[in-house]
C-alpha cells in the first residue's frame, strides 16, 4: 500500500516516493521561542508527529528536523522589555515547548536545530546567492532578487503583479523590486548581531530554514511541512532561496500544510488574542485528550476549538481505556497490526477515519468471546493507537490521572464505597442508594462489576 500525501505545490494527492528510501528526510517549521505555545501552534507538531510515526513504520531511517527560531525581532522585543539577554528568553521557552509537546505525546524529532547555531551556514548561503546573481547588498541589507528566479510564486499560486497590487507593506526604497525580501539586515549596537561580510547584523527570517536544511538534510528534502499561513511568504521565499542556492535543484519534493485552529470560527492567533495555551489546557485536560481533539479533524481542514471539543475527546478515550482495562490481565499477541487504521493514515493522514476504525476495534474488543481473541484484538488496538500516538498508557494510569487532577479525597470515597458494600450485603438498598448519592455528590461515579466496585470521576 503506497503512502498518499497532498502536495501543496501540485495541489493534488500524490504517491509518496522518497529520493532515497533508506534515508527519508522531513523538515517542519518549529516555534519561535518567546512565549508559551498555544494549542494552534501545537497542531503542526502533532500532525507531523503522526506522519513521522507512519514514516518510521515504513522506512528504515527517517531524519525529521524541526527547527527552533531563537533569533527574531519578537524575541528581541521581549528581551528588551524584560531587561534580559535573548538567551534567557529563548532557553526558557524552548524548555516549555518541549515539555508541552511531550505532554501531547509528540516524539522528539531526530534533530532540533537552532538558528543561532547556524549563522555561519546562513552567511555562506547568502554569499552563494550573491555570487550566483540572485541577491544584492543595499544599505547594509542583503536582499533576494525575486525577478532573478522565474519560478517565484508557484507554491502560493500567485504572480508578482498580484502580490504588488495587494501589498499592504511600504516598499523599502533600497529594494530593486517590490517583491524582494531580506536575507540579512543590519543590527544596531543594542540588538543581537553577528559579524558578516556586510557588516554586523542578523539574518532575515526565511534564510535560517534553508541553511539548516542544507546542512542537516541535504540540498533536496522529501517533505517540507508547516502551517498553512507559512505558504506565503515564508515557504515561497525558502523555495526561491534554496533552489537558487543549489543551481536549480528541487528544494523539497512534497510541501504539506496544516489548516488552522479557530475559536468561534476565527483564526486563533496571538495578535487577535483569542488563544488557549497548551500550558493552561494541560491543567484542564490530559495531554492525550488534547492530542485526540487535535487529530479529530483532517489536518488540512480548519478545526474549531472549544471546551466541548476536548470534553468529547476525553469521553471517547475513556471508552477505549475502559475496554483496555477489562483486558488488562491479558498479554497482547506479538507483532499485530490493524490494517484499516494504517490504510486511513496512508491516505493523506485521514485521522478521523483512523479514529472511526479505532472505535470499531474498541467495540470488537468489548465483544470478543475468548481470551485468545482478546489477546489478538488488544494487540491490534495498541498497534493502531501507537501510530496515532494514543492509548499507550496503562488504563489504570489514565484513570488515576483523572482522579488525581480532580482533587477528590480518595480515602473518603473508598470509605463510602465500603459502607455501601456492607449495606448491599445486608440488602439495605435504601442505605446503599443514599451512600451512592453521597458519592455522586463528590463528582464520582461508581460501577458494580463482577470483580468488585470501581469508581471514577464523572465527566
Asked if residues 324 and 301 have their Cβ atoms less than 8 Å apart, the reply is: no
According to DSSP, the residues that pair with 457 across neighbouring strands are 444
Name 186's bridge partners: 201
Cell numbers that stand for 132 in this block: 550566483
Window 355 to 394, contacts with RNA (CB under 7 A): 355-356, 359-360, 362-363, 366-367
Site for RNA in 15-34 (CB under 7 A): 29, 31-32
157 is an interface residue for RNA by CB under 7 A: yes
Closer residue to RNA, CB minimum distance, 58 or 454: 454
Integer-rounded Cα Rg, in Å, for the chain is 26
Residue from 76, 121, 350, 393 binding RNA (CB under 7 A): 350
Which residues are bridge partners to 329 per DSSP?
none
Please, which residue, 32 or 393, has the CB nearer to RNA?
Answer: 32
- C-beta closer to RNA: residue 83 or 166: 166
Site for RNA in 243-262 (CB under 7 A): 258-262
Asked whether 208 and 118 are in contact (CB, 8 A), the reply is yes
Asked if 41 interacts with RNA (CB under 7 A), we say yes
Q: Is 339 among the residues that bind RNA (CB under 7 A)?
A: no
Residue 226 interacts with RNA (CB under 7 A)? yes
For the window 89-128, what string marks contact with RNA as x by the rule CB under 7 A? ----------------------------------------
288-362-326 Cα angle (round to 5): 90
Binding residue (CB under 7 A) for RNA from 15, 173, 189, 265: 265
Task: Choose, by CB under 7 A, the member of 24, 50, 106, 303 that binds RNA.
Answer: 303
Q: 377 with 365: CB under 8 angstroms?
A: yes
Residues 225-240 as b or e (16 or more Cβ within 10 Å = b): bbbbebbebbbbbbbb
Query: Residue 87 interacts with RNA (CB under 7 A)?
Result: no
Pick 23 or 400: Cβ nearer RNA:
400
CB of 418 to RNA, least distance (A): 14
CB atoms closer than 10 angstroms to residue 12: 9
Among 15, 22, 150, 165, binds RNA (CB under 7 A): 165
Q: Is 196 in the site for RNA (CB under 7 A)?
A: no
The least CB distance from residue 444 to RNA, in Å, is 10
CA–CA gap between residue 252 and residue 238 (Å, rounded): 10
Among 41, 49, 188, 214, which Cα is nearest to 126's?
214
| Segment interacting with RNA, rule: CB under 7 A, options 77-85, 108-116, 215-223, 296-304 | 296-304
- Indicate which single residue of 53, 224, 234, 276 sits in contact with RNA (rule: CB under 7 A): 234
The distance of closest approach from Cβ of residue 22 to RNA in the complex, given in angstroms and rounded to an integer, is 29
Give the separation between CA 428 and CA 459, rounded to whole angstroms: 29
In the list 109, 227, 287, 385, the residue contacting RNA (rule: CB under 7 A) is 227
When the beta carbons of 334 and 427 are compared against RNA, the nearer one is: 427
What are the DSSP calls for 296-321, one per residue? Answer: SS-TTS-EE--HHHHHHHHHHHHHHH
Told to check if 163 binds RNA by CB under 7 A, we report: yes
CB-nearer residue toward RNA: 136 or 321: 321
Q: Please enumerate in sequence order all residues whose Cβ is within 8 A of that of 252, keeping only pairs 6 or more positions apart, or say none.
A: 27, 220, 221, 222, 223, 224, 239, 242
User: What angle (nearest 5°) sits at the alpha carbon of residue 375, between those of residues 373 and 380?
Assistant: 95
The distance of closest approach from Cβ of residue 276 to RNA in the complex, given in angstroms and rounded to an integer, is 10
> What is the C-alpha to C-alpha distance for residues 26 and 44, in angstroms, rounded to an integer?
13
Cα distance between residue 15 and residue 18, in whole Å: 10
Stretch of residues binding RNA (CB under 7 A), selected from 58-66, 77-85, 244-252, 317-325: 317-325
Amino acid at each position: 500500500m503506497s503512502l498518499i500525501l497532498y502536495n501543496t505545490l501540485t495541489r493534488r494527492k500524490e504517491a509518496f516516493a522518497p529520493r532515497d528510501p533508506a534515508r527519508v528526510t522531513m523538515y517542519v517549521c518549529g516555534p519561535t521561542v518567546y512565549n508559551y505555545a498555544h494549542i494552534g501552534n501545537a497542531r503542526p507538531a502533532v500532525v507531523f508527529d503522526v506522519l513521522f510515526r507512519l514514516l518510521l513504520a515504513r522506512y528504515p531511517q527517517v531524519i525529521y528536523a524541526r527547527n527552533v527560531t531563537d533569533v527574531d525581532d519578537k524575541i528581541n522585543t521581549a528581551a528588551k522589555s524584560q531587561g534580559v539577554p535573548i538567551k534567557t528568553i529563548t532557553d526558557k521557552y524552548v524548555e516549555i515547548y518541549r515539555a508541552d509537546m511531550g505532554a501531547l505525546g509528540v516524539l522528539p524529532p531526530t534533530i532540533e536545530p537552532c538558528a543561532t547555531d547556524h549563522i555561519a551556514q546562513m552567511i555562506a548561503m547568502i554569499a552563494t546567492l550573491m555570487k550566483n546573481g540572485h541577491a544584492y547588498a543595499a544599505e547594509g541589507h542583503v536582499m533576494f532578487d525575486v525577478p532573478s528566479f522565474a519560478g517565484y510564486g508557484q507554491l502560493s499560486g500567485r504572480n508578482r503583479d498580484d502580490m504588488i497590487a495587494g501589498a499592504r507593506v511600504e516598499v523599502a526604497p533600497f529594494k530593486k523590486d517590490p517583491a524582494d525580501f531580506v536575507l540579512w539586515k543590519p543590527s544596531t549596537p543594542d540588538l543581537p548581531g553577528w559579524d558578516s561580510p556586510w557588516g554586523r547584523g542578523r539574518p532575515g527570517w526565511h534564510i535560517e530554514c534553508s541553511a539548516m536544511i542544507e546542512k542537516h538534510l541535504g540540498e533536496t528534502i522529501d517533505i517540507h511541512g508547516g502551517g498553512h499561513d507559512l505558504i506565503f511568504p515564508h515557504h515561497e521565499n525558502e523555495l526561491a532561496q534554496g533552489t537558487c542556492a543549489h543551481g536549480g535543484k528541487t528544494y523539497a519534493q512534497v510541501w504539506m500544510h496544516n489548516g488552522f485552529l479557530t475559536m468561534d470560527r476565527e483564526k486563533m492567533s496571538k495578535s487577535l488574542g483569542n488563544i488557549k495555551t497548551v500550558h493552561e489546557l494541560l491543567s484542564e485536560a490530559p495531554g492525550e485528550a488534547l492530542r485526540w481533539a487535535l487529530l479529530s479533524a483532517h489536518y488540512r481542514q480548519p478545526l474549531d476549538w472549544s471546551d466541548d471539543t476536548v470534553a468529547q475527546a476525553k469521553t471517547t478515550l475513556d471508552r477505549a481505556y475502559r475496554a483496555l482495562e477489562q483486558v488488562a490481565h491479558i498479554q497482547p499477541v506479538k507483532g499485530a497490526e490493524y490494517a484499516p487504521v494504517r490504510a486511513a493514515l496512508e491516505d493523506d493522514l485521514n485521522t478521523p477515519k483512523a479514529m472511526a476504525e479505532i472505535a470499531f476495534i474498541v467495540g470488537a474488543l468489548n465483544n470478543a468471546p475468548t481470551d485468545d481473541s482478546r489477546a489478538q484484538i488488544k494487540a491490534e488496538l495498541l498497534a493502531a493507537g501507537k501510530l496515532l500516538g494514543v492509548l499507550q498508557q496503562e488504563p489504570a494510569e489514565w484513570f488515576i490521572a483523572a482522579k488525581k487532577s480532580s482533587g477528590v479525597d480518595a480515602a473518603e470515597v473508598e470509605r463510602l464505597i465500603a459502607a455501601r458494600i456492607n449495606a448491599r450485603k445486608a440488602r439495605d438498598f435504601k442505605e446503599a442508594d443514599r451512600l451512592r448519592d453521597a458519592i455522586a455528590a463528590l463528582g464520582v461515579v461508581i460501577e458494580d462489576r463482577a470483580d468488585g466496585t470501581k469508581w471514577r470521576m464523572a465527566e
